[in-house]
């Protein structure tokens, strides 16, 4: 229905001397009688179009009608012309119509192209202005010969009409400013805030929106697409020439232009060999300057620090593109799929992982889900939002599936969220994000808030200084190299630091000599807590529970002869760190060392073969000496465990020492060892 305000709008009709019907939707329309003309209460006569009104040009008439429409709450567009410039009398008549004139054209479905299915704003509105060219009274001029201001839709308020596309404009000066901002790598949201401050306007009152800025950046990228593609491929090929172990793959579209591209560095491939058991594939970012979807593969090393595995730029975010990206990544990593992969909630990506990595456990990053909570639940819950969020985290961290599902139902009842679609969707996907369903799978601790912040900070290094695409590839390489160097320095410092033992138990000192300080600190927490638990031997294992509890507990199974121990809490499977329950049973059974299989290679101080580490191009002379010292320290620790081990170590070290003394000493020493490319 038409609003009361719209009903008061001026309605004027055709000049009887210029009778001609208008068809806005290619159907017939009727001219209404001048008797129904009513003067608008909101406009003055000199600002309202009227029959006989004259303009020097048709563009002047358009500008006048456009300003009038803006005041009234709608916008206009050029519709139909009669005559043709340069032919005969040229243009003789023009029609300007409401932006909601006409009806939605029927689209021809094309299976090969995705349909956007955007809702049309057209509703058959008959409001229009007609102007005709008059030449019989001297110089040519344009005269209003038809005007209808009757709308069949609501008219917008002044604070809403500015969002219509016709009134959203970006000046040349603003375009240059936006492109300059884009080259600094800041987000579109940050650009808008800066320009609001510069122009001293309230938030949201710029003459354009974030969408307009994104469209501008997209058009700029398209206009320079071919050059960018050439530069990007040239950069990747140059990297390949410098380092044969640099990996990259790309696809071209039907016009032979770059479509998708993925790459990884030699150091990343080597890191993946050791730490590629659990991976985050973050696809929530875009390359701001060109509005390209960006995917980054990240893991966690033995010191709990993020490590980079690979990067991909995609034109489209669909199942086919994601499948290509995953295939390329597996190709870089010699076909080795991760045990687990964490992603955002994206159904296309979920489908692609199921196809390309069928043996990999797919889960959703909890921090990516939680980031959406304010927009999902703040308005719904109001003052109870923080209370609900605390209850959500409690349920998320439960161990029992049964407790989780019962608790979830209670939470929905208590907060009245039975009809909330986000709650329903979260519950439907619970096996992909809730810890009770994931504890049997290894995630290297990346489901915790601390790791999420570290990974996000790490990714921001790549996004903080974007310019052109080719420079982005270079910036990623610099960020990776810097992080690798920082990790190595921290590794050496942590290897040499004194670790504070808290329990004095032999198991603790043994673990301290094997694990990195990061991993040891996690195990040490469990060792301290283990002292508060009691263990009871049962027919099929042990029952372990807190000394203050009379019921409940965890079931622990231990086979001493085979060195196998497992707990119903699944902490070791989830994090690679033995739980307090298993440690309590080991202590009760007079076990003074943790079995080797429960000190995983990925959490040890030396987590790759000595040959590879000594050949690493990133290790200089001093670092190799420190590495050798660490290896010798571990050798002494392991050899001292038995007479047989000590005998073997003494014999082999004597042989090795003799061989080393036979080698000549180069004039430049070991510092001039030539780099060896790692073929991974």
Q: What is the DSSP secondary-structure string of 385-410?
A: HHHHHHHHHHHHT-S-HHHHHHHHHH
pLDDT: is 189 or 14 the higher one? 189
Return the CATH fold of 225-365+433-496.
Nucleotidyltransferase; domain 5 (3.30.420)
C-alpha to C-alpha distance for 446 and 267, rounded to whole angstroms: 21
Whether residue 626 is predicted with pLDDT greater than 70 in this model: the reply is no
Average pLDDT over residues 195-218: 83
Q: How confident is the model at residue 409 (pLDDT cuts 50, 70, 90)?
A: very high
Whether residue 7 is predicted with pLDDT greater than 50 in this model: the reply is no
Average pLDDT over residues 61-79: 90
- In angstroms, the first-to-last Cα distance of the chain is 69
C-alpha to C-alpha distance for 272 and 608, rounded to whole angstroms: 11
Chain mean pLDDT for the chain:
79
583 closest CA partner among 544, 641, 540, 538:
544
For 242-287, the pLDDT digits (tens) are 888 889 999 988 877 778 899 998 889 989 999 999 999 999 887 7
CB 286 within 8 A of CB 293: yes
Give the lowest-confidence range in 80-94, 421-435, 599-613.
Answer: 599-613
Give the lowest-confidence range in 12-16, 346-350, 418-422.
Answer: 12-16
pLDDT: is 353 or 6 the higher one? 353
Q: How confident is the model at residue 582 (pLDDT cuts 50, 70, 90)?
A: very high
Give the lowest-confidence range in 321-325, 520-524, 549-553.
Answer: 549-553
pLDDT of residue 332: 94
Q: How confident is the model at residue 144 (pLDDT cuts 50, 70, 90)?
A: very high
For 332-379, the pLDDT digits (tens) are 999 999 999 999 989 999 999 999 999 999 999 998 899 889 889 988
C-alpha to C-alpha distance for 397 and 127, rounded to whole angstroms: 60
Average pLDDT over residues 164-187: 80
Helical spans, DSSP H, in 132-171: 158-161
CB 349 within 8 A of CB 322: yes
pLDDT of residue 486: 56
Q: How confident is the model at residue 202 (pLDDT cuts 50, 70, 90)?
A: confident
CB 240 within 8 A of CB 248: yes
Whether residue 180 is predicted with pLDDT greater than 70 in this model: the reply is yes
Helical spans, DSSP H, in 397-516: 401-415, 421-428, 430-433, 449-463, 469-496, 506-514
120 closest CA partner among 139, 102, 97:
102
pLDDT of residue 46: 58
Average pLDDT over residues 95-111: 77
Residue 272 CA to its chain's centroid (Å): 21
| Whole-structure pTM value | 0.60
Average pLDDT over residues 196-203: 85
C-alpha to C-alpha distance for 570 and 554, rounded to whole angstroms: 10
152 closest CA partner among 113, 201, 97:
97
CB 314 within 8 A of CB 325: yes
Residue 106 CA to its chain's centroid (Å): 35
pLDDT: is 544 or 14 the higher one? 544
C-alpha to C-alpha distance for 277 and 607, rounded to whole angstroms: 13
9 closest CA partner among 157, 149, 152, 125:
149
pLDDT: is 117 or 212 the higher one? 212
542 closest CA partner among 564, 524, 557, 530:
557
CB 422 within 8 A of CB 377: yes
Quote the tokens at residue 27: 């159907």
For 466-525, the pLDDT digits (tens) are 555 656 777 777 767 665 555 555 555 555 455 788 888 889 999 998 999 889 999 999
C-alpha to C-alpha distance for 450 and 296, rounded to whole angstroms: 19
Helical spans, DSSP H, in 497-545: 506-514, 517-530
Average pLDDT over residues 581-598: 92
């Amino acid at each position: 229905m038409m609003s009361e305000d719209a009903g008061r709008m001026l309605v004027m009709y055709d000049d009887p001397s210029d009778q001609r019907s208008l068809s806005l939707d290619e159907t017939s329309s009727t001219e209404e009688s001048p008797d129904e003309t009513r003067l608008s209460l909101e406009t003055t006569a000199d600002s309202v179009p009227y029959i006989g009104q004259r303009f020097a040009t048709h563009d002047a008439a358009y500008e006048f009608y456009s300003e009038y429409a803006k005041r009234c709450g709608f916008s206009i567009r050029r519709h139909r012309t009669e005559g043709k410039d340069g032919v005969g009398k040229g243009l003789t008549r023009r029609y300007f119509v409401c932006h909601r004139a006409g009806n939605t054209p029927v689209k021809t479905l094309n299976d090969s192209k995705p349909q956007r299915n955007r809702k049309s704003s057209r509703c058959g509105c008959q409001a229009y202005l007609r102007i005709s060219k008059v030449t019989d009274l001297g110089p040519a001029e344009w005269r209003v010969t038809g005007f209808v201001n009757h709308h069949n839709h609501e008219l917008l308020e002044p604070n809403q009409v500015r969002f219509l596309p016709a009134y959203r404009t970006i000046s040349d000066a603003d375009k240059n400013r936006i492109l300059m901002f884009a080259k600094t790598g800041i987000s579109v949201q940050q650009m808008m805030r800066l320009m609001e401050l510069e122009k001293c306007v309230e938030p949201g009152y710029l003459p354009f929106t974030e969408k307009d800025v994104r469209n501008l950046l997209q058009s700029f990228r398209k206009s320079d697409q071919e050059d960018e593609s050439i530069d990007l491929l040239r950069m990747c090929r140059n990297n390949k020439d410098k380092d044969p172990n640099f990996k990259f793959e790309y696809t071209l579209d039907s016009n032979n232009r770059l479509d998708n591209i993925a790459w990884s560095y030699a150091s990343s491939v080597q890191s993946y060999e050791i730490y590629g058991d659990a991976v985050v594939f973050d696809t929530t970012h875009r390359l701001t300057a060109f509005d390209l979807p960006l995917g980054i593969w990240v893991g966690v090393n033995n010191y709990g620090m993020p490590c980079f595995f690979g990067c991909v730029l995609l034109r489209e975010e669909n199942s086919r593109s994601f499948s290509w990206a995953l295939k390329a990544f597996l190709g870089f990593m010699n076909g080795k799929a991760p045990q687990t992969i964490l992603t955002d909630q994206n159904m296309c990506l979920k489908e692609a992982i199921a196809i390309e990595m069928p043996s990999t456990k797919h889960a959703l990053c909890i921090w990516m889900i939680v980031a959406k909570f304010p927009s999902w639940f703040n308005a719904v819950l109001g003052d109870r939002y923080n209370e609900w969020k605390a209850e959500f985290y409690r349920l998320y961290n439960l161990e029992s599936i049964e407790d989780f599902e019962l608790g979830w139902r209670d939470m929905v009842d208590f907060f009245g969220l039975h009809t909330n679609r986000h709650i329903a969707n979260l519950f439907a996907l619970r096996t992909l994000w809730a810890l009770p369903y994931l504890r049997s799978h290894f995630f290297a601790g990346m489901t915790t808030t601390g790791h999420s912040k570290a990974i996000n900070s790490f990714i921001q290094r790549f996004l903080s200084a974007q310019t052109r695409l080719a420079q982005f590839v270079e910036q990623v390489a610099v960020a990776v190299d810097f992080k690798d160097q920082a990790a190595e320095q921290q590794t050496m410092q942590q290897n040499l630091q004194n670790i504070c033992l808290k329990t004095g138990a032999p198991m603790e000192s043994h673990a301290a000599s094997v694990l990195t300080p990061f991993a040891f600190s996690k195990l040490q927490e469990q060792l301290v807590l283990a002292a508060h638990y009691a263990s009871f031997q049962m027919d099929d294992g042990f029952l372990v529970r807190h000394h203050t509890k009379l019921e409940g507990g965890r079931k622990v199974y231990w086979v001493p002869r085979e060195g196998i121990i497992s707990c119903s809490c699944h902490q070791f499977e989830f994090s690679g760190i033995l739980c307090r329950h298993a440690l309590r049973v080991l202590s009760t059974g007079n076990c003074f060392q943790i079995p080797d299989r429960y000190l995983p290679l990925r959490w040890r101080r030396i987590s790759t073969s000595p040959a590879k580490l000594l050949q690493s191009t990133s290790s200089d002379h001093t670092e190799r000496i420190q590495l050798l010292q660490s290896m010798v320290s571990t050798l002494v620790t392991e050899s001292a465990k038995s007479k047989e081990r000590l005998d073997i170590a003494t014999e082999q070290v004597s042989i090795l020492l003799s061989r080393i003394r036979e080698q000549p000493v180069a004039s430049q020493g070991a510092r001039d060892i030539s780099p060896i490319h790692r073929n991974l």
